């Protein structure tokens, strides 16, 4: 797992540690000291801790004028024991919502497992971004994670795009990607089979 680093090709466009409105402003990163772990596995030092012991993230890009953020996750998303959605909502989403972010792209390719609790935080998050103007999209979700999310009813509050509908987001620049994703979402129900 230590070889999986957050997507870095957009760093010429945005660096979370240089953004004074970011939760990780002024954070110093190491390329060589591996101190963070998910269970017994070290992860790349570019991932950010936000309160969960098993799930880390990287805010890849934020555009305050257009009101969107792109976040990449790695690890095990555990709402049942660790209440990871609470940490994601309170420590990251709430801060970004206060800065005017209403569209959240959450890249889930590296989410290896998902353990559900209930959908309360997802519902709160969706209400706060406003369903008329904003949305939350969980992107490229692995099949077994997708099934667990479906059984929990997260689809009532978020777009959930499984990896069987793989969206090749890396080929875009951030703003072009969100425009592309918006046009895709405009033609889809929240839940995709």
One pLDDT digit (tens) per residue for the chain, 193 residues: 678 999 999 999 999 999 999 999 999 998 788 889 999 999 999 999 999 999 999 999 999 999 999 999 999 999 999 999 999 999 999 999 999 999 999 999 999 999 999 999 999 999 999 867 899 999 999 999 999 999 999 989 999 998 876 789 999 999 999 999 999 898 876 555 5
The answer as to CATH 3.30.750.24 being correct for domain 16-185 is yes
E-assigned strand segments in the chain = 37-38, 41-42, 55-63, 68-78, 103-115, 135-141, 159-162
- The Cα–Cα gap between 156 and 104 comes to 16
Residue 180, H or E segment: helix 174-185
Taking the domains of the chain in order of start, what are their residue ranges? 16-185
Whether the Cβ atoms of residue 67 and residue 132 lie closer than 8 Å to each other: no
pTM value is: 0.94
């Amino acid at each position: 797992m230590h070889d999986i680093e957050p997507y870095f090709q957009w760093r010429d466009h945005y660096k979370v540690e240089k953004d004074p409105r970011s939760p990780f402003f002024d954070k110093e990163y190491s390329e060589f000291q591996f101190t963070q772990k998910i269970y017994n596995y070290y992860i790349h030092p570019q991932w950010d801790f936000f309160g969960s012991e098993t799930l880390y993230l990287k805010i890849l890009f934020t555009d305050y004028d257009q009101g969107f953020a792109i976040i990449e996750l790695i690890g095990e998303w555990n709402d049942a024991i660790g209440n990871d959605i609470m940490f994601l909502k309170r420590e990251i989403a709430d801060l970004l919502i206060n800065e005017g972010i209403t569209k959240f792209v959450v890249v889930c390719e590296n989410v290896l497992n998902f353990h559900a609790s209930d959908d309360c935080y997802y519902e709160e998050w969706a209400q706060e971004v406003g369903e008329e103007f904003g949305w939350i999209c969980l992107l490229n979700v692995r099949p077994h994670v997708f099934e667990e999310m479906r059984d929990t009813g997260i689809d009532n509050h978020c777009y959930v795009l499984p990896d069987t509908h793989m969206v090749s987001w890396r080929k875009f620049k951030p703003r072009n990607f969100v425009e592309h994703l918006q046009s895709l979402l405009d033609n889809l129900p929240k839940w995709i089979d």
